[in-house]
Amino acid sequence: MSFRHLDRFAQVRSPVTRVPAAGRVFGTVVLALATATLPAGAWVQLGLLAAVSLALLAIAHVPLRVALARLAWPLGLVLLASLALLVVMPGEPLARLGPVAVTAQGADRFAMVMGRAMVALLPAVLLVSTTSFPELLQGLRELRVPVAVATALGLAYRLLYLTVDELERLQRAARSRHAGGGVTRRRHLITAIAAATLGRAFVRAERTHAAMLARGFRGTLPLLHAPVWTYRAVLNVAAVSILVLAVAASARLP
Amino acid sequence: MAHIPDGFLSMPVIAGTATASLAALATAARRSRAALGEREGPVLGAVTAFVFAAQMLNFPLGIGASAHLLGGALVAVLLGPWAGMLVLFAVLLVQALLFQDGGIAALGANTLNVAVLGVGSAGVTYRIGRAGLGETRGATVVAAGLAAWISTAIVGLAVAAELVLSGLVPLQPALLLVGGGHVLIGIAEAVLTGLLVDFVFRTRPALLARRTPAARGDRIRVVALAGAVVATVLVAVGFASSQPDVLETALARLASPVGSGLTAAPLAEYQSPVGGLWVAGAVGVLAAFLVAWGLTIAVQRRRP
């Protein structure tokens, strides 16, 4: 198991990948925040922010079909979560679906939520496509995410593959012995596998800790490569952030 | 819908929840470092990796459905609430940034709901359970299961409250669909957490023994918090109950003669003869609290 398929465009040279990871995370948060907090009815501003995200995807050489394919799953979840809006909002009925009525107010709110969610997902897709996990971790540390969380994420990233592989090995061993026939036995089997994995994760944590101490670990993981902020990178992040904030602010002008 | 996507919350709710989460995480980072020392990184890393991996396992529920572990209560039981909050925050962060599961702008709200309130309430409930029921295997499993159910319900109520405060949905549908949905999901979470804790208790009890037992001063604090939790749930139920519930609807449709023979409830429809809804709510909270307290004392007396 690996996350390598996620950051396929991290090695592609572009103005986006030349910005250090902290700048990319910052830009993503600004774009997502600006989109998510647009007031209802701000369709023009939503369109402009979508255009900014699409332009950044093009600059980073991330093909639109890749971005759309990555949007499909999270957007499906958003769709499921927001379908209820169509019928729970009181208002003028537009159509009847059995015992419930789709209201005009509900349809309006559903469209705005879906629009905001879709556009806010675009910068997240851009970030994950152009940033490797170690880079992302470095960016989070620069943005002052608690050291414990950054260290835990870094180690979890290394241990996750091992843990999942171990989980799969235990499942394969159980399958090869035809264990877990019937719901109750299967439930007990999966619980046993999960608990065994948990025990092994703790053992591995202790071994990792001992190995890290032997290498001079004093509570924080060192950075191998310090990020290089060029004037151009600073200017690019500032320009995109100011543009995005200006678009978002224009939606609140009287 | 424990992971709120972007586009659902208003700016004040995003700002408020982000501020509250930052404050809670700062405290959690300090307390976790004090508890785990320099072992903190490896232990948190291993448990974070385990939570990710465990979420991939589907447990059969036996009715053609399956569920996966959410993990908040489990980490609270294994690591304590403060370190548990950091683990769940790490999981939420990766889910939002890498898998777009939960919004980036809504990360503060999701952290507050799942990591802070979810893990925090699980930790408090577990402490209450252990303080009241004891430290036997059965008591530990029941306390862990109860912690999982209550924390999942609280996560649901918090999500519902944020959606209502954002002006997205009215109060009653939010409480019924989101809050009620989580109360049901919480049952599966309670079973899974209970089974896992039972297995850990039997095979690696040292993992659970790392937790410090509750002191007498803690009991007063956890009892006060338990009262607040019960009050919140009951008041929320009171708000959501102006429509007939499933049983009432079924009885009305069947025109059951059994229903007509039932003795009227003393506070029917959450109405008290004096003071209406609020007095009925307060009486209900007090009664529920006294019953829970009585049960706790009874179990304590039976303990050798």
Q: What is the CATH number of the domain that holds B155?
A: 1.10.1760.20
Which residues lie across from B67 on neighbouring strands? Answer: B59
Among A23, A44, A49, A21, smallest CA distance to A117 is for: A49
pLDDT of residue A24: 92
Q: Which residues in chain A are closer than 8 Å to B85, comparing Cβ atoms?
A: none
* CA-based nearest distance B266→chain A, Å: 32
Q: How far apart are CA A230 and CA A238, in angstroms?
A: 12
Which H/E stretch holds residue A51?
A: helix A43-59
* CA-based nearest distance B285→chain A, Å: 29
Percentage of residues in chain A having pLDDT higher than 70 = 91
Kindly report, residue by residue over B273-290, the tens digit of the pLDDT: 555 555 555 555 555 555
Please judge whether A160 and B10 are an interchain contact, meaning their C-beta atoms are less than 8 angstroms apart. Answer: no
DSSP string, B101-170: -S-STTHHHHIIIIIIIIHHHHHHHHHHHHHHH-SSHHHHHHHHHHHHHHHHHHHHHHHHHHHHHTTSS-
Q: Which residues in chain B are closer than 8 Å to A195, comparing Cβ atoms?
A: 196, 199-200, 203-204
Q: Do residues B268 and B195 share a domain?
A: no
More confident residue, B83 or B213: B83
Q: How far apart are CA A65 and CA A206, in angstroms?
A: 44
| Structural domain harbouring B258 | 215-304
Q: Which residues in chain B are closer than 8 Å to A202, comparing Cβ atoms?
A: 43, 46, 204, 207
Q: Do residues B234 and B205 share a domain?
A: no
DSSP B16: H
Q: How far apart are CA A9 and CA A21, in angstroms?
A: 13
**pLDDT for residue B300 is more than 70:** no
Kindly report, residue by residue over A134-161, the tens digit of the pLDDT: 888 888 888 888 877 888 888 888 788 8
Last residue of a domain, one of B149, B181, B212: B212
Please judge whether B57 and A115 are an interchain contact, meaning their C-beta atoms are less than 8 angstroms apart. Answer: no
User: What's chain B's Rg over C-alpha atoms?
Assistant: 20
Q: Which of B91-100, B111-120, B289-298 is predicted least confidently?
A: B289-298
- Domain parsing of chain A, residue ranges: 21-132+227-250, 146-214
pLDDT of residue B229: 52
Q: Do residues B39 and B158 share a domain?
A: yes
Mean pLDDT along residues B75-101: 88
Q: Which of A10-19, B226-235, B258-267 is predicted least confidently?
A: B258-267
Kindly report, residue by residue over B127-143, the tens digit of the pLDDT: 888 888 887 888 899 99
**Would strands B66-67 and B59-60 be described as parallel, antiparallel, or unpaired?**
antiparallel
More confident residue, B245 or A82: A82
Q: Do residues B97 and B208 share a domain?
A: yes
pLDDT of residue A243: 95
> Cα–Cα distances in Å, from A184 out to A194, B73, B191, B272?
15, 23, 13, 46
Q: Do residues B77 and B188 share a domain?
A: yes
Residue B84, helix vs strand vs coil:
helix
Q: Do residues B64 and B178 share a domain?
A: yes
**pLDDT for residue B241 is more than 50:** no
Which H/E stretch holds residue B59?
A: strand B59-60
Please judge whether A115 and B54 are an interchain contact, meaning their C-beta atoms are less than 8 angstroms apart. Answer: no
Q: Which residues in chain A are closer than 8 Å to B5, comparing Cβ atoms?
A: 74, 77-78, 81, 117, 120-121
> Cα–Cα distances in Å, from A68 out to A57, B55, B94, B102?
11, 25, 20, 17
DSSP B179: I
For A201, the closest of B50, B168, B203 (CB atoms) is B50
Q: Do residues B271 and B150 share a domain?
A: no
Q: What would the two tokens of residue B40 be?
A: 């903190």
Q: How far apart are CA B82 and CA A88, in angstroms?
A: 37
Last residue of a domain, one of B212, B231, B263: B212
Last residue of a domain, one of B184, B212, B240: B212
Q: Are A154 and A212 in contact (CB under 8 A)?
A: no
Q: How far apart are CA B125 and CA B221, in angstroms?
A: 11
Q: Do residues B60 and B99 share a domain?
A: yes
For A205, the closest of B43, B52, B62 (CB atoms) is B43
pLDDT of residue B296: 45
Please judge whether B100 and A124 are an interchain contact, meaning their C-beta atoms are less than 8 angstroms apart. Answer: yes
**pLDDT for residue A58 is more than 90:** yes
Q: Do residues B124 and B186 share a domain?
A: yes
Whole-complex ipTM? 0.83
Q: Do residues B220 and B206 share a domain?
A: no
Q: How far apart are CA B258 and CA B237, in angstroms?
A: 25
Q: What would the two tokens of residue A23 be?
A: 């700048």
The residues, ordered by sequence, that sit 6+ positions from B202 with a Cβ below 8 Å of its Cβ are B137
* Number of domains forming the structure of chain B: 2
Say how far residue A225 (Cα) sits from the centre of its chain: 24
Q: What would the two tokens of residue A89 be?
A: 């909002």
Please judge whether A155 and B49 are an interchain contact, meaning their C-beta atoms are less than 8 angstroms apart. Answer: yes
Q: Which of B105-119, B123-137, B196-210 is predicted least confidently?
A: B196-210
pLDDT of residue A35: 94
Nearest CA in chain B to A113: B7
Confidence of residue B259 (pLDDT cuts 50, 70, 90): very low
Q: Do residues B78 and B168 share a domain?
A: yes
Q: Do residues B138 and B50 share a domain?
A: yes
Q: Which residues in chain A are closer than 8 Å to B10, comparing Cβ atoms?
A: 37
* CA-based nearest distance A13→chain B, Å: 21
Q: How far apart are CA A206 and CA B86, in angstroms?
A: 19
Provide the chain B residues 94-123 that lie in CB contact (below 8 A) with chain A. 94, 96-101, 103-106
Q: Are B169 and A88 in contact (CB under 8 A)?
A: yes
Q: What would the two tokens of residue B205 be?
A: 């009890």
The overall average pLDDT reported for chain B is 74
pLDDT of residue A30: 95
Instruction: Tell me, yes or no, if B43 comes closer than 8 A to chain A by beta carbon.
Output: yes
pLDDT of residue B261: 40
Q: How close are the terminal C-alpha atoms of chain A, in Å?
A: 52
Which one of A132, A153, A207 makes the best mutation probe of the B interface by having the most chain B beta carbons within 10 Å? A153
User: Which amino acid appears at position B123 of this protein?
Assistant: G
pLDDT of residue B244: 42
